[in-house]
Amino acid sequence: MHLLATDDDTTTRIGFVTSRAVGNAVQRNLVKRRLREIAHELLETAPRGWLIVVRAKPNAARATYGELCHEVRDAVLGRTETKRAS
């Protein structure tokens, strides 16, 4: 995951990268759909003013929705709070 704080405190944007290492097209699309839904939920509570890129690793294809949600939420919220404090 890569994060960049911006000067625009009104929006946070999230993008996704899923390479062929994640699996075949069906698996990659499933991971992307899950990540999009997680991002939609996360944008309601995430701090504003960030550009976020989530890179799906091969294990993402075997993870459940709950596991992906937990990982992404912890990574985004933990890193945005840490970076804003410094």
Tens digit of pLDDT for each residue in 23-42? 999 999 999 999 999 999 88
9, 18, 20 from 25: Cα distances, Å: 36, 10, 8
Domains of the chain: 2-75 (3.30.230.10)
Q: Which of 82, 77, 8, 81 is nearest to 49 (CA)?
A: 8
User: pTM value?
Assistant: 0.80
Residues making up the chain, counted from first to last: 86
The angle formed by the CA atoms of residues 58, 49 and 29, to the nearest 5 degrees, is: 25
Residues linked to residue 15 through DSSP beta bridges, in sequence order: 53
Give pLDDT tens digits for 14-27: 899 999 999 999 99
